[in-house]
């Protein structure tokens, strides 16, 4: 009998968790309190929390599930409608909707009396006023961390005197109703920048207040390439690991100030504060044109104005918008699990709570990354489901608690948020997940191998793939596309395909032939006219593995796992 897994939430993390459960032969049941997978369609029940002008901050090649890329006609950076359509298409393509119970609220999740032996959970849900209790062998929490707005009014003296309107950015939908108003936006994240820029076109004045400053990135980077295909190269990740932070910060400051001097725009990082990045194409221009005025942190509010730390005053303010982020909330748990994702509970690899006797509770997607979260959530889900099935093991809780104690001093530092979602690079975070098979090859082995070209591995777009997730990938084969200009618009180099040193269970394919069909959702993946190079000793009964590399300009670390079930011997 298949082990039953409760998946809480049917968003980005929930969908990948359902699919990974099915891949491992588990029985998932997903509970989603809204009506649809796509939140913009559920505004009638008050679930719409997204402003209409939202555009993704990472390009589509870096923001998709490994085995379901975006349609070819989608733009590099999508609005919310296209992104939610993609999620709906993903759910329909893999037939995931039948495992989701919509309009169902999870009331409580508690350990069963025999949890130490079975690891099972009691889950109480409510649908249309009717409660139901069920027993599950494992639970995957995929509720996301953009549900409960953080509104720190107590940190702003005099805010109770203010007679204007106070909003959180979660309540913002568009510029309607802000015409001719004087607006103060508090915070400087991606949302704060988007809201301030949009309001600058209709409001009488927009003030943008920040305590720490931020580095502003443009979606279009050097040569017109998407910025996240530039900053997530493996070479940059390697440099960040070996250089002292003081040297790295100096290099980073010099590079980011090439476009414009952040200090002159009131955006420079406050000394002693952790670097923060904001993706916004128009913010510097709005500051330059005077439609947005940068301000320091608010010292005090009066009835109609705000006094800032630098001594300036914002007069006659009509509306204050707090873009101050969100807090994690798990109302269905009892203590201590209500404190998941805080300093109180250590999450092993940001997934498994350290204080459980049985590893049957996984937290998926509660991680901060400098890039798209989809690749990380998918690998987290793949690893978690393999742990549930017994194919992977994690250290015992005693060892995890000891590791948590060692890290306690680090997270007690004042600059670390109490919510353990500190941003980290996609590359380094993905490599820490002990998913099987390995997500990336051993780079030292690749560089030393005479049949491979190590330069593209460090500097080029690298889409790494495994054909069989259930088996290990011990001897990876690197192949180079001979027609890069046809299969990827960024490519300019031409490197020959190589099938040397193939193992008996490896299949060598020209990546151009593979991607040209896969990225347009056609089947079979490898057309009959495509050149397929097989090892003479390959046995059809053995699992096939493929790791391929596309030469180009940059080296993003996203992982693409393709399903090539249509390949025959």
Give tens-digit pLDDT for 522-542.
233 333 333 333 333 333 333
- For position 434, what pLDDT does the model report? 52
Say yes or no to pLDDT of 315 above 90: yes
Give the span between the Cα atoms of 96 and 529, in whole angstroms. Answer: 33
List Cα–Cα distances, 429 to 12, 171, 327, 432, 467, in angstroms: 18, 32, 22, 5, 22
Higher pLDDT, 544 or 156: 156
Give tens-digit pLDDT for 465-484.
332 232 232 333 333 333 33
What's the average model confidence in pLDDT over 45-50?
Answer: 57
Provide the CATH topology of domain 151-218+259-324. FAD/NAD(P)-binding domain (3.50.50)
Say yes or no to pLDDT of 429 above 50: no
What's the average model confidence in pLDDT over 97-112?
Answer: 95
What's the average model confidence in pLDDT over 1-17?
Answer: 90
Contacts of 519 (CB under 8 A, 6+ apart): 69, 72
Tokens describing residue 115:
């949890």
User: Do the beta carbons of residue 373 and residue 12 sit within 8 Å?
Assistant: yes
CATH architecture classification, 4-147+327-427: 3-Layer(bba) Sandwich (3.50)
Contacts of 176 (CB under 8 A, 6+ apart): none
Tokens describing residue 494:
């031409």
HSE of 50, CA atoms in CB hemisphere, 13 A: 17
Give tens-digit pLDDT for 215-266.
999 998 877 888 877 777 777 777 777 888 888 888 888 988 998 999 999 9
Q: Pairing state of beta strands 292-295 and 277-279?
A: unpaired
Give the span between the Cα atoms of 208 and 90, in whole angstroms. Answer: 38
Say yes or no to pLDDT of 18 above 90: yes
Give the span between the Cα atoms of 349 and 144, in whole angstroms. Answer: 17
Please compute Rg for the chain using Cα positions: 25
Domain residue extents for the chain: 4-147+327-427, 151-218+259-324, 437-569
- For position 327, what pLDDT does the model report? 85
Domains 4-147+327-427 and 151-218+259-324 share a fold: yes
Closest CA to 488 of 296, 226, 236, 101: 226
Please tell me the pTM assigned to this model.
0.76
Higher pLDDT, 144 or 296: 296
| pLDDT confidence tier of residue 404, bands split at 50, 70 and 90 | low
Give tens-digit pLDDT for 148-183.
889 999 999 999 999 999 999 999 999 999 999 999
Closest CA to 97 of 39, 28, 25, 50: 28
| pLDDT confidence tier of residue 345, bands split at 50, 70 and 90 | low
User: Do the beta carbons of residue 141 and residue 8 sit within 8 Å?
Assistant: yes
Give tens-digit pLDDT for 71-88.
888 999 999 889 999 999
Closest CA to 16 of 143, 142, 146, 145: 142
């Amino acid at each position: 009998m298949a082990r039953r897994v409760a998946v809480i939430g049917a968003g980005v993390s929930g969908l990948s968790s359902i699919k990974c459960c099915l891949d491992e032969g588990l029985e998932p049941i997903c509970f989603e309190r809204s009506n649809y997978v796509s939140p913009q369609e559920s505004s009638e029940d008050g679930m719409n929390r997204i402003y209409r002008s939202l555009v993704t901050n990472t390009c589509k090649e870096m923001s998709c599930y490994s085995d379901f890329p975006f349609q070819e006609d989608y733009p590099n950076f999508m609005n919310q409608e296209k992104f939610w359509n993609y999620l709906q298409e993903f759910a329909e393509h893999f037939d995931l909707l039948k495992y989701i119970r919509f309009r169902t609220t999870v009331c409580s999740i508690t350990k069963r009396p025999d949890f130490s032996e079975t690891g099972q959970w009691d889950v109480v849900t409510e649908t249309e006023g009717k409660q139901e209790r069920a027993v599950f062998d494992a639970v995957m929490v995929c509720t996301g961390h953009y549900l409960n707005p953080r509104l720190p009014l107590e940190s702003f003296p005099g805010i109770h005197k203010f007679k204007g309107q106070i909003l959180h950015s979660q309540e913002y939908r568009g510029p309607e109703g802000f015409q001719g108003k004087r607006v103060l936006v508090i915070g400087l994240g991606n949302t704060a920048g988007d809201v301030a820029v949009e309001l600058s076109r209709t409001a009488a004045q927009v003030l943008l207040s920040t305590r720490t400053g931020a580095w502003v990135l443009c979606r279009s980077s050097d040569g017109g390439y998407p910025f996240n295909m530039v900053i997530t190269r493996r070479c940059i990740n390697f440099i960040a690991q070996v250089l002292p932070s003081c040297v790295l910060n100096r290099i980073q400051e010099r590079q980011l100030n090439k476009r414009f001097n952040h200090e002159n725009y009131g955006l420079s990082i406050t000394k002693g504060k952790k670097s923060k990045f904001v993706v916004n194409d128009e913010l510097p221009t709005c500051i330059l044109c005077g439609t947005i005025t940068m301000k320091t942190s608010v010292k005090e509010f009066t009835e109609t104005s705000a006094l800032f730390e630098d001594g300036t005053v914002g007069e006659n303010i009509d509306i204050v918008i707090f873009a101050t982020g969100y807090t994690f909330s798990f109302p269905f748990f009892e203590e201590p699990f209500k404190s998941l994702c805080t300093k109180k509970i250590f999450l092993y690899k940001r997934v498994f709570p350290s204080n459980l006797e049985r590893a049957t509770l996984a937290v998926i997607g509660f991680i901060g990354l400098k890039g798209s979260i989809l690749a990380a959530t998918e690998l987290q889900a793949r690893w978690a489901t393999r742990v549930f099935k017994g194919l992977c093991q994690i250290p015992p809780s005693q060892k995890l608690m000891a590791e948590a104690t060692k890290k306690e001093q680090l997270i007690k530092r004042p600059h670390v948020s109490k919510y353990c979602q500190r941003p980290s690079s996609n590359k380094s975070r993905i490599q820490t997940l002990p998913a099987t098979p390995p997500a990336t090859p051993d780079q030292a082995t690749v560089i030393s191998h005479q049949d491979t070209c190590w330069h593209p591995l460090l500097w080029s777009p690298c889409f790494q793939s495994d054909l069989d997730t259930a088996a290990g990938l011990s001897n990876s084969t690197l192949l180079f596309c001979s027609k890069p200009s046809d299969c990827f618009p960024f490519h300019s180099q031409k490197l020959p395909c190589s099938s040397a040193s193939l193992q008996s269970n490896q299949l060598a394919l020209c990546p151009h032939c593979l991607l040209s069909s896969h990225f347009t959702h056609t089947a079979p993946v490898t057309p009959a006219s495509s050149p397929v190079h097989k090892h003479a000793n390959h046995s059809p009964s053995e699992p096939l593995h493929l790791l391929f590399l596309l030469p180009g300009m940059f080296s993003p670390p996203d992982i693409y796992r393709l399903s090539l079930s249509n390949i025959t011997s």
